Amino acid sequence: MARNLDAFWMPFTANRQFKKAPRMLVRASGMHYWDADGRQILDGVAGLWCVNAGHNRPQIVQAIQAQAAEMDYAPPFQMGHPKAFELAERLAAIAPAGMGKVFFTNSGSESVETALKIALAYHRARGEGQRTRLIGRERGYHGVNFGGISVGGMVANRKHFGTLLAGVDHIRHTHDPARNAFSVGQPAQGAELADDLERLVALHDASTIAAVIVEPVAGSTGVLVPPHGYLQRLREICDRHGILLIFDEVITGFGRTGSPFGAQTFGVTPDIMTAAKGLTNGSVPMGAVLVRDTIHEAFMTGPENMIEFFHGYTYSAHPLACAAGLATLQTYADEGLLTRARALEPYFAEQLHALRGEPNVIDVRNIGLVGGVELAPIAGEPTRRAFGVFLDCWEQGVLVRTTGDTVALSPPLIIERAQIDQLVDTLRQALRRAA
Ligand X SMILES: Cc1ncc(COP(=O)(O)O)c(C=O)c1O
Site residues, ligand X (CB under 6 A): 107-109, 112, 141-143, 215, 219-220, 248, 250-251, 276
Cβ nearer to ligand X, comparing 214 with 431: 214
Cβ nearer to ligand X, comparing 256 with 296: 256
248 vs 266: CA distance, rounded Å: 14
Edge-first strand order for the sheet with 25-29 is: 25-29, 32-35, 40-43, 398-399
- In the complex, least distance from residue 271 CB atom to ligand X, rounded to whole angstroms: 17
Residue burial 91-102, b: 16+ Cβ < 10 Å; e: rest: bbebbbeebbbb
Cβ nearer to ligand X, comparing 115 with 329: 115
- In the complex, least distance from residue 152 CB atom to ligand X, rounded to whole angstroms: 8
Helices 82-94 and 319-335: crossing angle in degrees, nearest 10, is 40
- In the complex, least distance from residue 203 CB atom to ligand X, rounded to whole angstroms: 26
- In the complex, least distance from residue 78 CB atom to ligand X, rounded to whole angstroms: 26
Element (H, E) at 402: strand 401-403
- In the complex, least distance from residue 77 CB atom to ligand X, rounded to whole angstroms: 22
267 vs 230: CA distance, rounded Å: 11
- In the complex, least distance from residue 158 CB atom to ligand X, rounded to whole angstroms: 14
Cβ nearer to ligand X, comparing 215 with 345: 215
Contacts of 413 (CB under 8 A, 6+ apart): 46, 52, 53, 54, 255, 256, 337, 340, 341, 344, 369
User: Hey, what amino acid is at 64?
Assistant: I
The pairing of strands 370-375 and 406-409 is: antiparallel
Residue burial 280-289, b: 16+ Cβ < 10 Å; e: rest: bbbbbbbbbb
Cβ nearer to ligand X, comparing 116 with 276: 276
- In the complex, least distance from residue 248 CB atom to ligand X, rounded to whole angstroms: 4
Cβ nearer to ligand X, comparing 109 with 264: 109
295 near 301, Cβ under 8 Å?
no
Cβ nearer to ligand X, comparing 133 with 137: 137
CA distance to 8, 182, 394, per residue, from 431 (Å): 32, 17, 13
- In the complex, least distance from residue 142 CB atom to ligand X, rounded to whole angstroms: 5
Cβ nearer to ligand X, comparing 220 with 426: 220
Residue 132 CB neighbours (<10 A): 17
- In the complex, least distance from residue 107 CB atom to ligand X, rounded to whole angstroms: 4
Cβ nearer to ligand X, comparing 143 with 222: 143
The pairing of strands 287-291 and 272-275 is: antiparallel
Q: Which residue is nearest to ligand X (CB)?
A: 108
The pairing of strands 133-137 and 168-171 is: parallel
